[in-house]
Amino acid sequence: MSKPRTVAVLVGSLRKESFTRKTARALAKLAPEGLTLEIVEIGDLPFYNEDVEADPPANWTAFRRKMKAADAVLFATPEYNRSVPGLLKNAIDVGSRPYGSSVFDGKPGAVVSVSPGVIGGFGANHALRQSLVFLNVPVLQQPEAYVGGVAALFDDRGELVDDRSKDFLRKFIHAFAAWIERHV
């Protein structure tokens, strides 16, 4: 890594014992030296409403500032009804507006989806990628990160204990670090 990089991590789950948040924290621990992952909280963002854009809520402004300061963005999402949770979509809407001022424009990104089921949030992962194309986010294509059976991967302290998953997530975050370097 040529210089230290910061990755804003958007976690699409509010649940206290969220597997998505646990996965994001595991990725932060597995990241190469010089790559810092920081979770940017999105649960308190009011729904996007263009009518209040002239005097935006303070938490919209703070969110946009944090996102602009990051070198890259990691979207960590569970799957709700074969798509992304509303709070993650809302954060994308808040960050991409007003039109022409998107905090995501050109920022390298990656998607990791998690699910207790076997397909690892495939539907959410791909639904999210559709929005990222429009937002001009160059998204890491390989390796794809669908983490299935996530409920069995962590201990009661929230630590990743599955060695195969740990190896895979390490490869993923290292590939993302290289992707970031190619795109910043």
Per-residue pLDDT tens for 42-88?
999 999 999 999 999 999 999 999 999 999 999 999 999 999 999 99
Work out the pLDDT band at 1, boundaries 50, 70, 90: low
Tokens 């808040």 correspond to 94
Buried b or exposed e, range 125-159, using 16+ CB within 10 angstroms: bbbbbebbeebebbbbeeebbbbbebeebbeeeee
Share of residues in the chain with pLDDT > 70 (%): 99
Which among 42, 118, 44, 54 is positioned nearest to 84, based on CA atoms?
42
Given its phi and psi angles, is residue 106 left (phi above 0), alpha (psi -120 to 50 degrees) or beta?
Answer: left
Summarize the confidence of residues 141-161 as an average pLDDT: 96
Question: pTM score, two decimals?
Answer: 0.96
Count of domains observed in the chain: 1
Q: What's the pLDDT score for residue 2? A: 73
- Give mean pLDDT, residues 110-128: 95
Residue 66 belongs to what domain range? 5-183
CATH code of the domain containing 145:
3.40.50.360
Compute the Cα dihedral for 63, 68, 73, 79 and give only its sign: positive
